């Protein structure tokens, strides 16, 4: 079996609800995966507005690397998805990236114990691209600094 066939044999459904969505700063990665035929855009969601992609094993490895799953930045967890077009239809099992359990609850508390149902342009303006971050900083240090600050 060729590497390309092998990488495309298993597909995982991924929900993107933040910077990986179309029109946001990190969507270039999803577009790169689509261009390489290791991801396919499937649609948008409703309750938490996100985008659904079918991603190959190769694409999933690249997303895990980007989201820092092995370093404790984000966790990829199961979710149930229902498209707004299929309201009333069955749920689909997928996965999404969430803040790592080591700081997720404190982050939620810091944000007033309020979630949000859609990542918007105003949220995106607060995002600092990896290339624009201090070279010697670690995202976990930045998160801890944010969590310890008074707001």
| List 6, 32, 51, 67, catalytic entry | 67
Residue 22 sits at φ, ψ, to 5 deg, of -55, 135
In the chain, count of helices (H) and strands (E)? Answer: 6, 5
Residue with tokens 């948008």: 44
What is the three-class DSSP state of 86?
A: helix
CB 70 within 8 A of CB 44: no
For this structure, is 67 an active site residue? yes
- Give the residue numbers marked as catalytic: 67
């Amino acid at each position: 079996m060729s590497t390309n066939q092998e990488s495309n044999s298993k597909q995982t459904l991924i929900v993107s609800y933040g910077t990986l969505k179309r029109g946001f700063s990190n969507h270039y990665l999803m577009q790169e995966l689509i261009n390489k035929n290791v991801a396919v855009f499937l649609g948008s969601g409703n309750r938490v507005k996100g985008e659904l992609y079918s991603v190959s094993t190769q694409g999933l490895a690249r997303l895990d690397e980007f989201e820092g799953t092995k370093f404790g930045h984000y966790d990829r967890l199961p979710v149930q998805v229902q498209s707004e077009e299929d309201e009333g239809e069955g749920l689909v099992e997928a996965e999404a990236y969430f803040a790592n359990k080591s700081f997720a609850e404190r982050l939620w508390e810091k944000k007033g114990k309020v979630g949000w149902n859609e990542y918007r342009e105003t949220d995106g303006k607060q995002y600092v691209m990896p290339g624009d971050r201090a070279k010697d900083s670690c995202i976990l240090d930045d998160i801890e600094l944010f969590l310890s600050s008074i707001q």
